[in-house]
A and B are shown apart, each in its own frame.
Chain A
Amino acid sequence: MSEPTTTTPHAEPSDRTYVGIALLLGVITAVEVASYYAEDALGAALVPSLLAMMVVKFVIVVGWFMHLRFDSNVYTRLFVTGLVLAVTVYAAVLATFRYF
């Protein structure tokens, strides 16, 4: 290593691992789209399953591609604070307007 890249040492995933993760994300996206067309078959399970797949993709990208899984917890706290604040505030807004 000719230069320090982060202040927290961590095991960098290999390029092969990144390709595997990207393929997994692609497969999940394909399942999402397939679910959209299987609305009649899935019924009430459609929305929860789509949301679950969305969360899985979100966590994978943030954790692996953005390296939160390997970096300092301070970065995670900064990001999660903003995320939780946004979800809480706008869930309250939607509830106020009787969206749910």
Chain B
Amino acid sequence: MSTSASPTLESTPGSGHHSATGLSNAKLAMWAFLGSDCMLFGGLISTFLLLRTKGVVRGPEVKDLYDIPFTSVSSFMLLMSSLTMVLAVSAIRRGDLARCRVWLVATAVLGALFVSGQVYEFTAFYNEGLGFTTNLQSSAFYVLTGFHGTHVGVGILILGSLAAMGDRDGLGPSPAETVEIAGLYWHFVDVVWIIIFTVVYLIR
């Protein structure tokens, strides 16, 4: 607190921009974004919960189409992608860029497998007669899980970009912090799925 009266300051070279509190501005921004994203997913989840109890006028109910074993495997893959992500952060903190890139690619691949599973699930539901506009319940389901899938897709792009940047210079002045912030986003996506998997799939 006593270091500067300015709202932001740049600390030692290579550590990126930090606020007067000594905390990273970029990391603060990511946490603020994640906090606000809770509101987005909260709205989508509660909308689905409300519409699930209303029954359907036409078409099948979403819960009758769930393939729990399949979704469990998808969930497990996303959960394990959090492990590979944290190992990527751990590697870059040790200065092991090569291993970090391997873990980033592994995380992106697991994320891509999860999204592929979601596409398969959506296709199977559609073939069973549950389209986006079939009933209110299906609309809420597709919007909720689709938004989550979009978040995963954005995460894959971020991870792919980081892995492709190659050298330390490409990852900005603080490579470890850059990877860590991408990791925060990825873990949040995983955390949201933990809630969706339980509340939407397992609790009927």
Q: B191 to chain A: which residues have CB within 8 Å?
A: 58, 61-62, 66
Chain A interface extent, by class: 35 or more
* Candidates A18, A22, A85, A99; contact of B39 at CB < 8 Å: A85
Chain B interface extent, by class: 35 or more
Interface residues of A in 13-46 (CB under 8 A from B): 15, 18-19, 21-22, 25-26, 29, 32-33, 35-37, 46
Q: Are A5 and B176 in contact (CB under 8 A)?
A: yes
Q: B35 to chain A: which residues have CB within 8 Å?
A: 78-83
Complex alpha-carbon distance, A54 and B203, angstroms:
11
Most buried by A among B12, B37, B50: B50
Return B41 CB to nearest CB of chain A, in Å: 8
Q: A64's closest neighbor in chain B, by CB? A: B86
Q: B45 to chain A: which residues have CB within 8 Å?
A: 90
- B76 CB-CB contact with A under 8 Å: yes
Complex alpha-carbon distance, A99 and B195, angstroms:
18
Given contacts A19-B83, A61-B82, A86-B38, contact A29 B177 (CB under 8 A): no
22 contacts between A and B (CB under 8 A): A3-B15, A4-B15, A5-B93, A5-B174, A6-B180, A7-B24, A12-B90, A15-B87, A25-B79, A61-B190, A66-B184, A72-B21, A74-B21, A74-B23, A75-B31, A78-B32, A82-B36, A86-B41, A87-B42, A89-B39, A99-B49, A99-B50
Known: A58-B191, A58-B195. 12 other contacts (CB 8 A): A3-B14, A5-B176, A6-B24, A18-B83, A22-B79, A25-B82, A33-B69, A35-B202, A54-B194, A66-B188, A75-B28, A99-B53
Binding site for B on A (CB under 8 A): 2-8, 12, 15, 18-19, 21-22, 25-26, 29, 32-33, 35-37, 46-47, 50-51, 53-54, 57-58, 61-62, 64-67, 72, 74-75, 78-83, 85-87, 89-90, 93-94, 97, 99
